[in-house]
Structure 1
Amino acid sequence: MWMQFRRLFKDLRVGIRLLLDLVERTIEENAPLVSVDLPTGYGKSTASLELLWEIYSGNLDHYAERVVHVVPTRCLVEEFVERARQKGIPAYGQCMFFTPELKDPYFIPPIVFSTIDSYALNFCKIPVAEFESLALGRTLGHFDIPRYATFSAINIFDEYHLLVPNDAKSQDEKYFAKAWTTLMVIIKELLRVKAPVVLETATPRTDALNELKTYLGVIPRVLSYDAAIDQEYIDQGTKIIVNDKEFSDPLLNREYPLSIHATSDFCKKAIEICMKVAGTCNILIVCNTIAQAVSIYRDLRARGLSTILLHSQFTIQDREQKLRVLRDQLSKNYTIAICTQVIEVGVNLDFDFLITDAAPLASLIQRVGRIGRDVRREGEQFPIHLIYDVSYEQKDIKLYSNVYPLETTKQTIQLLADLKNQEKRISWRIPASRKLDKIVPYNLLAEEIYRNQEFYNQQVAGILNAILSPSTDPSYAMLQITRLHSLIRDSMIMPVYVTPDYSELKPNELIVLYAERLVPAKPYSLGLELHETGLKICNRDVVRKSLKLIDDKFLAAFEESEGEQICLLSVSAEELYECFSRCFLRKNGKRYLFRALIANENAYNSEEGLMTWL
């Protein structure tokens, strides 16, 4: 099997070959930190499978037993596991709602793809397979198994830049930048035991990497892409610079005509632009909020256009179906996709025309990466229409679209407008160390926008270091992580169950819960706020619209701790908070494990998702 696998990758890109050489050289020199900056679509994930070959062929078996590849989203776990298995590699995955037979929560197989959420819990003594048993006090958990697996692995953190906050303005928040701080603490612990670490990104953040180097006190070996060099690569010992002209030249010559529109009505302008080109190309419209996306979707559908809506508030089943339909339509007919930020990462789709709401540069880079992805599409133009809603400047808020830092968003728009006025083009896909004639690489723009920012959170790091101390056990780790609600996410996931039959839903009734009918919602999207002191209703209208209430109590699905039956209970906000603070609920002399809130009748449909907007 391994020889067959090796033949599949005999023609590797030069950058991937250099990456493998650098990792092997770095590990053998006992300096196991590698930073890799390669463009989107270059094939970084191939390197994980190649490193696995190096272990099993005997070249690296003295240094590692497996590869653990960590990604930011569940979609990427699914994609990478499927891609590896299509090539005959027995890859496994770990994330929420993943196919059970392909899941390995202890990271024991030769190669495992995991979300950063699951990886962080396993690393911090909370084995994801035993989370609830730990909460109920039944066991201290086999936490040393996944920790041993990571300590004896090559640990690859893919697209790590997504853990960096968009802005440093909100440092007064108690747990600001906890995801980035968690990653820093984990990497430092891995390096302490000499476990190899590879950091991969297509969108490098110099400020974040400099902070990481300062915190770790080490100089990483670096592989960077630079279209400004004439040679194929330059090997400087601790740093290798590569320019794969076969990959770079077509993308550098590709044109992304940029138009910037100032308006007070994003939806109206987006529809106006879309109608001018509908039916001539595949169009991607990216909105900052679900309400905007639904509004545009309804308008275009009413005009008889072929459209698909994609955002975070769909069931797992409907989301997968929408992606299948969208891929099919992109290959056959011209279509329009209206999406939120879910399109930015982990969705391998290729469009021709982008209409997007304004956002900080890092997000725009991800969005532009959804058009013209295929390197072979030479001679085509891929227009970008960037819409900036000026009304937010008149509002007494610091957030654009109530999502992004307003100042960072304004700075991004101004920088892009200045380049346009100077008749300079932007290389959205290929980085370089300097400007190339009238082409400005995206990485130089990122350095301009994100400079001299610090994100390390001392309080979060203190909690994590206490957890990782040899003197603490999983019960202490569970208590501390509960304070944070999540090590990675800005808020915990609160699943909402959508059922086709609401007539059967009554308190104390038993039901069958199907994972594919769950919507992975966050509290604030449901009109709720989760604090250290309790669960508060911040928008009663959204709560009533989206969730099933009985006498102002939430109808929710729980599993009895002593059995496997799922029953419905009517619970107050205080009781729900008990579930999240203790990880279980005491009620009627029993202990219950929370499974999902129940969606209100008519609050969900497969076209528009869970109606959490007003």
Structure 2
Amino acid sequence: MDYIAHIRESDKEIQSVEAHLLGVKALAESFGDKIGVKHIAGLAGMLHDMGKYTHEFKEYIREAVNNPDSPPKRGSVDHSTAGAKLLFQKFHQGVPSRLEWILAEVVGNAIISHHSYLHDFLNPHLESPYLNRVQEKHLDEFERSRQCFFDFVISEMEFQQYVSNALVELEAYLSKPSSENGESKLMFLIKFIFSALIDADRTNTRLFEENKIDEPEQSRKELFDAYYQKLMKKINSYQVQEDAKTAINVLRREMSDQCDQFAEKPSGIYTLSIPTGGGKTLASLRYALQHACRENKQHIIYVVPFTTIIEQNAKEVRKILSDDGHILEHHSNVIDDLNDDDENEDGIINTRQKLKLAKDNWDSPIIFTTMVQFLNVFYAKGSRNIRRLHNLSKSVIIFDEVQKVPVSCVSLFNQALNFLNTYCDSSLILCTATQPALGFVELERKLDMNKDAEIIQNLDRVIKAFKRVEIIDKATDELFDNDKLTDFIAEKMDEVQSVLVILNTKTVVKRLYRQMEVSGVPIYHLSTSMCAAHRNHILGQVREHLNQNEKVICISTQLIEAGVDVSFDCVIRSLAGLDSIAQAAGRCNRHGKREIQQVYVIDHAEENLNHLQEIKIGKKLSKRILIDLKRDQNQHGGNILSAQAMDRYFKEFYTEFSSKLNYFIRKLQKDMTELLMSERKHNTYYQAYLHNKKERLPLCIVNSYRTAAEYFQVIDDQTAAVIVPYDEEGKDIIAQLNGNETIENFSGLLRKAQQFTINLFYHEREQLEQNDGVVSLLDGKILALKETAYSKEYGLDLENDGRFDLSMY
């Protein structure tokens, strides 16, 4: 009897269960092999849909296809428990065998979770959702599934040998020297196996639905070598320019050459502290391409704090490499899948399933993404995020402006990097002019930085040579409001051609922009309320004025300060963390074409920082250092931006937040690190279980993965991505996403939509829904703004009053 895994929408062709299981097994093996766990991942692949070997599932899928308007009742078929149950029965019974029990738990949890998210082994109610599925749940046709699996997929003898191979891999993985404890190692292993399974399952299903065979891509080594040649042609072209011999340009070339030479070293965790304006993007790309060619890496990934840097850097890299198809920008998750459990839609290719199957797995050679998306891969709920994890292995990952790691995520960030370094054969570059103290000995979970980690030699000399601005302290003796600031900006515009003002809150930025008026001077506004395409348009206009040496004022939130390539004559920065002041200074006299220019630090009285604790504390610590320097100009190396000042700032900053570095979950009164990776003796849920039940939980792993994920959000308030109707292209994307597209078309549209998304806080979403400013597409999986809720000046318009006509864009 034929058992069905999927039925193709176009021609009703059937994919058999064994074809699907063996196809997913092969893909999962290839993903797992990257870190030496080929058979562990393959085990998950071959067992994940074993529960489809039932009359019940066969009847269910036929009924669903034949009656699409009245599909079977949700929850009527469970096909993802059987494979995990088989592992539990064969290897998790009787006298505990540590490795066999761990293998059953690691692979079993991935299997039962592959339509939603990883289960807790022990949850806050002192129950085990994992055990409830694999031990307690009764499956009517389990014996049929088991027998079919051994008849059609793999014999029992071959299966036993396969498991033996997996156990060898598990022992090797666990015994590898690492600073992480056993629970941390297992947490990352489970997540990697889950990632491999999710991607293998969706890729195999997509290929079947599209009636395609996955063709092998061009060798990444050949591709990266070709890229390297193009990059060097560009770098060498600078040597024939008139200013090639200036001291600054000679130093830029020296640092670029050092990056090239450093690429010969083994993969590790290194720092690249090129000062602002030192050619960091091209130098880091040179290291990445050279190292990728030498060490056979598969991906080069740039992780940045703000989407503005994605847009700028990706554009620059595309131009040099003359390749658009292999470079991916990933700003945000356009599709909301955090609470999905689509097991009862599996096998039927509807619009929701097409969205799930769309390629969204970071398999591109070069990827630009954000710190939020990087951390979501490891710790956020939803299968779309974690699907990408395995593609972080065998990669060069460059963390641009790494000082912007949110303080609550410092420990989680450090441990993710330690895992990628120790197990995943990835090289990790912390790239910034203001290095945070992530290896600070006082941190409970510090970064395992390589010895002699800095790529650039004689850094103090380099920093001194790149000094192009003077920091003027106007924050310790007086307060500014927008009235006073307006007068000060007008005064500066009498002295210079261009002024950039960076304030800490969108509200005050918007008010100042509305209030600011200087005769004959164009004034521009930038904030994260604008989509990427909109910000690019504004920045393009600003750069045009700057290039023509015309008068211009730009008023922005901090999004402009981290890596955006603009150069103003004067910068005014509202007091914030020392790293923010340094980054703001990097937007002034950026290329050193003028004598020393001024950066003014002010204290703005109208900013409400009560919900921006990191900025509030950073402001306090920076002010303390400014006061020290006012009393004694020889303190802190005699400069607010010295390496000594920056080191002191970050150590004090992390000390101030010491109780939050492990991602404290207020509602549970626990650190997220405890939920994910605490040992039994420190796991309060397990200790409570022992006390209440008077017995040990019959599991090797007792951590709470799903509970942790449910509380994880990189920023304080959870946001949702929404597509905006900016420009005709934005409107077209919204219109097409509301139609019945193929998986391939959905993949392309989701990629294009990255330039046309903003993130809404949930209170903003609620206000827009009340004002009829937002529309749901594709059964609520995608959100889009209506045209009346987006402004050509400010971006998001919560009032949805339709004051601006977007047709001109």
User: Which amino acid in the other structure matches residue 486 of structure 2?
Assistant: I
Given the alignment, which residue of 558, 568, 583 partners 2:776?
558
For residues 281 and 430 of structure 2, the distance between their equivalents in structure 1, rounded to whole angstroms, comes to 9
* Aligned residue among 374, 377, 380 for 1:119: 374
Task: Name the CA distance, whole Å, in 2 between partners of 1:344 and 1:218.
Answer: 29
Other-structure match for 1:270:
485
Q: Which residue number in structure 2 is paired with residue 442 of structure 1?
A: 642
CA 1:255 to 1:217, structure 2 compared with 1: closer, same or farther past 3 Å? closer
Aligned to 1:493: 720
Match status 1:157 vs 2:399: yes
Partner of 1:365 in structure 2? 582
Q: What corresponds to 1:106 in structure 2? A: 361
Compared CA separation, residues 86 and 517, structure 1 to 2 (3 A): closer
CA deviations on 1:75-113 (whole Å, 9 max, x unpaired) are 2222222222222264512413799xxx98433343333
Alpha-carbon contact 1:15-1:244 (below 8 Å) kept: no
Q: Is the 8 A contact 1:499 1:517 kept in 2?
A: no
Q: Per the alignment, do residues 522 and 217 of structure 1 end up closer, same or farther by CA in structure 2, a change over 3 Å counting?
A: closer
Partner residue in 2 for 1:136: none
Letter in 1 for 2:395: A
- 1:270 deviates by 1.0
Q: Any idea what SS the aligned residue of 2:266 has?
A: helix
Output one character per residue of 1:37-70: Cα deviation in whole Å (capped at 9) or x when no partner.
332222333244324543565x323xx3332232
Q: Is residue 300 of structure 2 the alignment partner of residue 54 of structure 1?
A: no
Rounded Cα–Cα distance in structure 2 between residues aligned with 1:253 and 1:521: 35
Count of residue pairs brought into register by the alignment: 480
- The answer for the alignment partner of 1:540 in structure 2 is none
| Match 1:196 to one of 385, 408, 426 | 426
Equivalent residue, structure 2, for 1:174 = none
Distance 1:250 1:35 in 2: 20
* Counterpart for residue 758 of structure 2: 520
For residue 491 of structure 1, report the CA deviation from its aligned partner. Answer: 2.8
8 Å contact kept, 2:472–2:599: yes
Displacement of 1:417 in angstroms is 3.7
1:274 Cα deviation (Å)?
0.9
Deviates more, 1:201-210 or 1:267-276: 201-210
Amino acid at match of 2:232: R
Identity %: 17
- Structure 1 or 2: larger helix share? 2
The 3 A distance-change label for structure 1 pair 482 and 448 is closer
Deviation string 1:339-385 (CA, Å, 9 cap, x unpaired) is: 1122122421111112222222222222222111113x25x232222
Residues 573 and 601, structure 2, Cα contact 8 Å, conserved in 1 = yes
Q: Does 1:24 align with 2:264?
A: yes
1:122-201 equivalent positions in 2, closer than 5 A: 122-123=377-378, 130=384, 143=387, 146-165=388-407, 177=408, 179-201=409-431
2:783 is aligned, of 590, 595, 598, to: 595
The unaligned stretches of length 5 or more in structure 2 are 1-225, 240-251, 335-357, 664-669, 679-698, 729-736, 740-748, 800-809
Residue segments in structure 1 that go unaligned for 5+ positions in a row = 132-140, 166-176, 226-239, 427-433, 502-509, 529-536, 538-542, 561-590
SS in 2 for 1:26: coil
Alpha carbons of structure 1 residues 54 and 259: separation in structure 2 relative to 1, 3 Å: same
Per-residue deviation, 1:162:
0.5
Instruction: Return the letter of the residue paired with 1:385.
Output: Y
SS in 2 for 1:188: helix
SS at match of 1:370: coil
Structure 2 letter corresponding to 1:160: V
Structure 1 residues 210 and 267, CA gap change in structure 2 (3 angstroms): same
Q: How does 1:109-508 map to 2 (within 5 A)?
A: 109-123=364-378, 130=384, 143=387, 146-165=388-407, 177=408, 179-205=409-435, 207-210=437-440, 215=445, 218-224=448-454, 241-243=457-459, 248-252=463-467, 254-260=469-475, 262-263=477-478, 265-279=480-494, 280-301=496-517, 305-332=521-548, 333-375=550-592, 377-378=593-594, 380-389=595-604, 399=609, 406=616, 408-420=618-630, 422=632, 435=637, 438-439=638-639, 441-451=641-651, 453=655, 454=658, 455-457=661-663, 459-463=671-675, 479-480=706-707, 483-484=710-711, 486-487=713-714, 490-495=717-722, 497=724
C-alpha distance in structure 2 between counterparts of 1:521 and 1:481, whole Å: 22
TM-score w.r.t. length of structure 1: 0.66
Name the residue aligned to 1:549: 770
Per the TM alignment, residue 158 of structure 1 is displaced from its structure 2 partner at its CA by: 2.3
Once the 2 structures are TM-superposed, how far is the Cα of residue 25 of structure 1 from its aligned partner? 2.0
Q: Does structure 2 retain, via aligned residues, the 8 Å contact 1:55–1:65?
A: no
Match of 1:582 in 2: none
Aligned AA (1:93): L
Shift of 1:336: 0.5
After TM superposition, the structure 1 stretch with the greater mean CA deviation from structure 2, 32-41 or 119-128, is: 119-128
Provide the secondary structure at the position in 1 that maps to 2:515.
Answer: helix
Aligned-pair RMSD on alpha carbons? 4.2
Cα gap change, 1:105 to 1:74, in 2 (>3 Å): farther
* Counterpart secondary structure, 2:295: coil
Kindly provide the amino acid, as one letter, of the partner of residue 25 in structure 1: K
Map Cα deviations across residues 472-510 of structure 1 (whole Å, 9 max, x no partner). 9xxx97x55761353567532352745899xxxxxxxx9
Whether the 8 Å CA contact 1:361–1:412 is kept in 2: the answer is yes
Which residue is equivalent to 1:74? Answer: 307
Residue 289 of structure 1 and its aligned partner are, at CA, apart by 1.9
Q: CA deviation at 1:444?
A: 1.8
**Contact 2:304 2:310 survives alignment (8 Å):** yes
* 1:571-590 superposed matches below 5 A: none
Aligned to 1:607: 793
Using a 3 Å threshold, how does the CA distance of structure 1 residues 48 and 201 change in structure 2: closer, same or farther?
Answer: closer
Kindly indicate whether the alpha-carbon contact (under 8 Å) linking 2:439 and 2:447 is maintained by their aligned counterparts in 1: no
SS in 1 for 2:488: helix
| Secondary structure in structure 2 of the residue aligned to 1:374 | coil
Change (3 A) 1:525 1:48: farther
8 Å Cα contact 1:285-1:339 kept in structure 2: yes
CA distance in 2, matches of 1:110, 1:515: 20
Please give the alpha-carbon distance, in whole angstroms, between the structure 2 residues aligned to 1:97 and 1:348.
Answer: 22
Matching residue of 2:168: none
Q: Which has the higher strand share?
A: 1
Give the Cα–Cα distance (whole angstroms) in 1 for the partners of residues 365 and 597 of structure 2. Answer: 41
Cα deviation for residue 200 of structure 1 reads 1.7
Q: Is the 8 A contact 2:774 2:786 kept in 1?
A: yes
Partner Cα distance (1:105, 1:500) in 2: 25
Using the size of structure 2 for normalisation, the TM-score is 0.52
SS of equivalent residue, structure 1 residue 592: coil
Structure 1 residue 207 displacement after superposition: 3.8
Q: 2:259 touches 2:284 (CA, 8 Å); kept in 1? A: no
**For residues 86 and 202 of structure 1, do their structure 2 counterparts lie closer, same or farther at Cα, with a shift above 3 Å needed?**
same
Contact 1:70 1:115 (8 Å CA) reproduced = yes
- Cα 1:516–1:281 shift into 2, 3 Å: same
